[in-house]
């Protein structure tokens, strides 16, 4: 039987399913945990600021701020565990190829320079991307290495006596610097780089809804991921040809499609 690829929503716009329910849930957990951490971590770093003191009072004092911060931290740890299990299950059990496509390749470097040349007018066409472009991979891996730094340094700050019984005393101030400035970098990246490229770009402004709905309009998909789009259309035609005796179409109305990510088990 052919797998669902393209769906049609209520207003007649064709979309491609890009994210499954687990990816959407993980994104929500990332948003919630990061907002909890930033809203309670920044007031601690800049505790002498008037705005920080006001916010600390709103939350009921510094002790409450620290409790909420730790809840956000444990939520992020749970997200990391959830994500690792999801990746392992997708790769080893479902045999899905998309996690491997997040690995950096030589083409990402070539595409990066081609995109820079296009932006300054030295190239007439944008580079063509597959499942992920260099910006998406960079952002993913920045979280992949930033997350462990935040978690490890956070535990050191939470249990300084325990860690200094095994490690030199300078590990605590080092963890404080790493923890606080990694948070600042994350804040700048989210509200400057991520928002600019993901939500403020042509065709999606003022909000890219794909990570919340799981679907991307076909027109936008053809522009941002043309290589994958071409491959998926060819794969769908092949599946339809092999399943020519089936009476159901692979173009579904919203609410009728199979709940699956863009990649099947193949």
Query: Is 82 part of a structural domain of the chain?
Result: yes
Considering the domain architecture, whether residues 27 and 90 belong to the same structural domain is answered as yes
Kindly state whether residue 123 falls inside one of the protein's structural domains: no
Which DSSP helix (H) or strand (E) runs through 253? strand 251-253
Element (H, E) at 31: helix 21-45
Residue 242 belongs to some domain of the structure = yes
pLDDT digits (tens, 9 = 90+) for 138-148: 999 999 989 99
Average pLDDT, the chain: 86
* Residue 201 and residue 231 share a domain: no
User: Are 59 and 92 in a shared domain?
Assistant: yes
Same domain, 137 and 172: yes
Range of the domain at 245: 1-18+214-266
Continuous H helices in 59-193: 62-88, 106-119, 134-158, 160-164, 171-188
Is the pLDDT assigned to residue 185 strictly greater than 60?
Answer: yes
Q: Does pLDDT of 6 surpass 80? A: no
Q: How confident is the model at residue 5 (pLDDT cuts 50, 70, 90)?
A: low
Number of domains in the chain: 3
DSSP at 199:
I
Give residue for tokens 């042509």: 202
Q: What are the strands of the beta sheet with 215-217, ordered from one edge?
A: 215-217, 14-17, 6-8, 251-253
Confirm whether 141 is domain-assigned: yes
pLDDT score of 252: 45
Residue 128 lies in a domain: no
Domain boundary among 74, 96, 118: 96
Cβ–Cβ under 8 Å, residues 197 and 224: no
Structural domain ending residue among the three candidates 207, 229, 247: 207
């Amino acid at each position: 039987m052919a797998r669902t690829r393209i769906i049609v929503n209520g207003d007649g716009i064709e979309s491609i399913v890009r994210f499954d329910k687990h990816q959407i849930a993980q994104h929500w957990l990332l948003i919630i945990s990061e907002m909890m951490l930033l809203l309670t971590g920044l007031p601690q770093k800049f505790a002498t600021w008037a705005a920080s003191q006001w916010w600390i009072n709103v939350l009921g004092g510094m002790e409450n701020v620290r409790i909420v911060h730790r809840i956000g931290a444990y939520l992020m740890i749970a997200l990391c565990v959830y994500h690792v299990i999801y990746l392992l299950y997708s790769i080893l059990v479902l045999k899905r190829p998309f996690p491997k496509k997040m690995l950096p390749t030589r083409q990402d470097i070539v595409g990066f320079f081609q995109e820079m040349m296009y932006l300054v007018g030295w190239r007439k066409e944008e580079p063509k991307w597959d499942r992920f472009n260099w910006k998406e991979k960079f952002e993913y891996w920045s979280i992949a290495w930033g997350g462990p730094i935040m978690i490890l340094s956070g535990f050191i700050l939470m249990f300084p006596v325990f860690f200094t019984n095994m490690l030199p005393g300078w590990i605590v101030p080092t963890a404080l610097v790493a923890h606080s400035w990694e948070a600042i970098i994350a804040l700048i990246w989210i509200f400057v780089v991520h928002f600019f490229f993901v939500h403020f770009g042509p065709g999606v402004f003022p909000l890219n809804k794909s990570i919340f709905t799981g679907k991307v309009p076909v027109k936008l998909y053809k522009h941002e991921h043309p290589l994958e789009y071409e491959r998926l259309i060819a794969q769908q035609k092949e599946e339809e040809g092999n399943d020519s005796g089936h009476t159901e179409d692979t173009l579904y109305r919203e609410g009728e499609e199979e709940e699956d990510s863009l990649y099947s088990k193949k």
